[in-house]
Amino acid sequence: MQSERIRQVLQEQDRRLAQTKLTLQLKTMKADELREVKVGEIRKKAEAENLKVREVTFINRMSTANMMQELMERQDHAAQRKLEHLAARAGKVRTDADVTAKAPTTASSAAHPGDAPASVAPSRSQRRKAKRLRKSLLRSQETEGAANSANDGNAAVAGSPERLLPAQAAPSSVSPADAAAIAKVPVFRLLFREASASGIPEFSEFSEPGNQSAGDLVLRVRHVHKAISTPSKLASIAPEALSALANQLPVVLRAAHALGVLDDSGLQTVMRLLQTLHRIPSVSDASLESAAMLPFVDFMVALGKSTPLGSSRIHDRGLELLVGVVSATTSSSNQKASLVRYISLSGLLHQLSSCLSESSRPGWRDEMQCVLPNIMSLLFALSASAVCTNDPVYDVRRQPHPILHVFETTVIPALVTVLGSLTVENPHGGIGNDAKQDPLPANVIASLTTAVSTINNVAWLDLRAIQAMALQFSAEMHHILSCLIAYAAKFCEADEATMRLLQEVVLFIGYVSLRNEATQESLRWGNPSILQRLCGLPFRFVVDKAAKDILLPTLIAASFQNPINADLLARFRFSTGHLAAYIRDKQGAAAAGRGDASPPVLRLVNRFPGDLWDSAITFYRGCAGDAE
């Protein structure tokens, strides 16, 4: 009786402690919400001030462009007047020379009618005057040709001063050198010079001076794209020419968008050619080595500022190209790291995160239906490029990765919003309703899987940050995880993609529960709780070796040094003795030198510290004895 009373008292204390913790968590959540509201207000004010600065900068640049255009027109007018004046002088000199030449001849004829006309040589002063006039005419012709070339280039690029800096463009995305290069020569002629010199026949006429318009060049880009898409023609083009062309196209896109040279269709044409070139491994590696993709990142940032994501096919193609470059396995790790660092600092991730944060807005799914998979794929590729799974997930990294700060502050909260939108607010059926659940579309499953996988990658970079995020969004994450496990457990046997989603969710629960008492406690919330749902997964997770390597380390992380969770495992018909035996088998294999053939992300040694294995075996054996 006394032991029963003690147990009741302890249970009552645990219940009160749990209520106290829950109250503290609610207060913390409210404080965090207030802080987020204040931070949001400050951020909006900063964005408004930044917008004003950009408007002033834009107006100044617009004025500068108009002044430059007026100055060029004055210079052209002055050169034309000088040319007319010199031509008039030349005509007068020729007339005087003819009169001078004819006068002696007439006199001679009159004196000697039978003789032939005599030719009179010009005097020395006349020869000097003619020589000076000839040089002046040559200089005037050269000046006129340069002025016409500049005017033709400006007409092809802009057509009018107002198009030099359109309102929808981002003037800061193009360097002065790029703007000058395009403004002084016919459109793209300078940028395609290397490709023309390397032997691509479709660009041969650009090696000579000409007056090609933007439409002519877009048509020629299509011819080049068709030639490169043909294997027989592709084999005849030198690799250096393809690399030179791939290095120039990002600069073309950045400058053409900033100066308003090409419309949406023209930009898509150039983008398709760049995509085709980057499907050639040697070209993609050369572009990455020469940092030619950095202007392309600038172009994507400027495009995101001028047009909303999802409103143009260019966004989808550009993100797809970045995914391919970042995911390339043959590229240099140093150059790829530089590109990833540049992407994280360019503002592109902030644009993508801002777009994902609006996922709860009505109509958002329809607008982002095409571009959402590539957004998620790019975030996953960036996080995966920074992960080293050979190190344990619980290790503290001495030097945080450059992308970690951006992911922690903007990307991860946006992904949580997307997960909530695709699960709790999903219109394709009650994913959180156990009574009635319909299969989700394949694109929704893929987006959910990629989002959870990206968060898991960040956990390998900084486990503490992800655990803090799980506590900050504890209520949202609890509901999201419950919905995902309930849905995936029902459809995983029939759909391999859903099984992959379930595996990523189970891995995430193990990461955030490792030596985290608050998260372990949240696994008991609700009825059925997340812990109960984990114990009720299909029988495959108990008998299949690969599935066991996914589930059992998560259950160990969720219940180690937590008697209440361990007792719940026994109540849900999952013996803690299985966990002790699993740890003992892994310990024996490591002692025998057999190693672990599982992938690094599934290995117990990478998910649960090896120095705690003996303590865990003792703990679970004791829990199994109490249950018996």
Q: Classify residue 59: in a domain, yes or no.
A: no
The verdict on 381 and 410 lying in the same domain is: yes
Query: Are 249 and 340 in a shared domain?
Result: no
**What is the pLDDT at residue 56?**
60
Expressed as residue numbers, the domain containing 447 is 307-514
Does residue 430 share a domain with residue 495? yes
- Same domain, residue pair 356 and 381: yes
**313 and 267 within one domain:** no
Domain count along the chain = 4
**Structure tokens that stand for 560 in this block:** 């180690």
374 with 226, same domain: the answer is no
Q: What is the pLDDT of residue 620?
A: 92
Domain assignment present for 113: no
351 and 251 belong to one structural domain? no
Based on the fold, state whether residues 381 and 498 are members of the same structural domain: yes
Residue 70 lies in a domain: no
Per-residue pLDDT, 130: 57
Instruction: Say how far apart CA 276 and CA 323 lie, in whole Å.
Output: 14
- Could you report the average pLDDT of every consecutive run of 10 residues in the chain (628 residues)? 72 79 77 76 74 62 57 62 61 50 42 41 57 54 45 37 31 42 43 51 48 59 74 74 80 77 80 86 79 88 87 88 83 78 91 91 86 94 86 81 89 94 67 65 94 95 92 91 92 91 96 95 92 91 89 96 92 88 91 80 92 93 68
Q: Residue 327 falls within a domain, yes or no?
A: yes
Q: Per the domain annotation, does 79 fall within a domain? A: no
Last residue of a domain, one of 514, 540, 567: 514
Where do we find the tokens 């001030």? 49
Please tell me the predicted confidence (pLDDT) of residue 239: 78
Does pTM top 0.95 for this prediction? Answer: no
Q: Which residues of 373-393 are buried (b: 16+ CB within 10 A; e: fewer)?
A: bbbbbbbbbbbbbbbeeeebb
Q: Is residue 481 part of a domain?
A: yes
CA 513 to each of CA 29, 390, 455, 531: distance values in angstroms, whole numbers, following the listed order? 19, 21, 14, 11
Token pair listed for 360: 């709860």
How many angstroms separate the CA atoms of 170 and 57, rounded? 11
Within this chain, do residues 553 and 417 fall inside the same structural domain, yes or no?
Answer: no
Q: What Rg, from alpha-carbon coordinates, does the chain have?
A: 36
Residue-by-residue DSSP string for 141-158: HHHHHHHHHHHHHHHHHT
Residues 464 and 336 in one domain: yes
Residue 241 lies in a domain: yes
* Domain-located, residue 575: yes
Burial of 29 (0-12, 13-18, 19+ CB in 10 A): middle
CA distance 301 to 210: 33
Exposed, middle or buried by CB within 10 Å (0-12, 13-18, 19+), for 528?
middle
Same domain, 332 and 461: yes
- Statement to judge: residues 508 and 546 lie in one domain: no
Question: Which is nearest to 173 in space by CA: 318, 321, 326, 294?
Answer: 294
